[in-house]
Amino acid sequence: MSDDNFSQKSRTQFNKLQKRLRHYVGDAIADYKMIENGDKVMVCLSGGKDSYTLLDILLNLQKTAPVSFEVIAVNLDQKQPGFPEHVLPEYLASLGVPYHIIEKDTYSVVKRVIPEGQTTCGLCSRLRRGTLYGYAEANGVTKIALGHHRDDILETFFLNIFYGGKLKAMPPKLLSDDKKNIVIRPLAYCREKDIERYSAFRKFPIIPCNLCGSQENLQRAAMKVMLKGWDKQFPGRLETIFTSLQNVAPSQLADPKIFDFVGLTLGRDLISQEPDFFDSGLEVLAQ
């Protein structure tokens, strides 16, 4: 991003956008204590706009953060045909950030297991997650940072409601099932449209996912269309829905596993020594 290519108006817009994203990321980190003093944060870099933005903002915040933490960028080369292997190493070397490229042929596994025409995203993400978890554990990484943003979280929320029969989304901070890794999502408060604009300003070298020929997850695509429609027609609705994820009232839902509906008891003496209001009223009328 050269100053020569920026008009004064564009520079002002970029500065405002960067400030907003820094603010959102800083708030998310503080609200969920995502990064602590001495942490080694592994940013999982896919080559997409979200992970580029995450790395960029974290490196920016690292300079002024009240705590000291390391940042390492890690990419999983899944051996997709035509994957431009030189792009990420060249970009990361230009930043001077420590990085590592993990080479593992998950592409062949996914193509062998998933029938032609079916969505590959689920298996692909599980294989990728397992590999990254293993690397983090072996290399002293204390936090694994993923590039999921607010819209990803809301899309997942509605996918689980409409297709999974579950009331859950993506948490901003997650302890893995084996308790050996902590995943953080510092972009949890950031809007996808802001990330898209930021990525365009920064001219990141985007690498598309060609594992499935840019195959769309049709259910997630439908959620994305729905949310964009709401955002356009009802400004502020998405913010309100996201706020609801932070303001849960288990006693007002219907899950007996998280609230003891069965054990509810009255908190008063059922056999009162004094006549109740209704009986007292009848006595007055009878006089």
| Residues 192-246 pLDDT 10s | 999 999 999 999 999 876 545 444 568 888 999 999 999 999 999 999 999 999 9
Residue 110: is its pLDDT beyond 90? no
DSSP reduced 3-state for 234: coil
pLDDT of residue 213: 45
Residues 6+ apart with CB under 8 A from 180: 133, 137
In this prediction, residue 273 carries a pLDDT of: 55
CA–CA dist 148, 158 (Å, integer): 15
Rounded CA separation 7/11 (Å): 6
Task: For 175-197, write each residue's pLDDT tens digit.
Answer: 999 999 999 999 999 999 999 99
Nearest-angstrom CA–CA distance, 9 and 221: 34
pTM tops 0.75: yes
Residue 164 has pLDDT above 50, yes or no: yes
Average pLDDT over residues 63-75: 95
69 close to 39: Cβ distance less than 8 angstroms: yes
Domains of the chain: 3-249 (3.40.50.620)
Least confident of 29-33, 135-139, 269-273, 283-287: 283-287
Q: Which of 157, 147, 154, 141 is nearest to 196 (CA)?
A: 147
Q: What is the dihedral of CA 113, 123, 80, 40, to 10 degrees?
A: -150
Helix, strand, coil percentages, rounded to 5, for the chain: 50, 10, 40
Tokens 């431009």 belong to residue: 84
Q: Give residue 104's pLDDT.
A: 79
> In the β-sheet with 173-175, what is the strand arrangement from edge to edge?
99-103, 70-77, 40-44, 143-145, 182-184, 173-175
Residue 166 scores a pLDDT above 90: yes
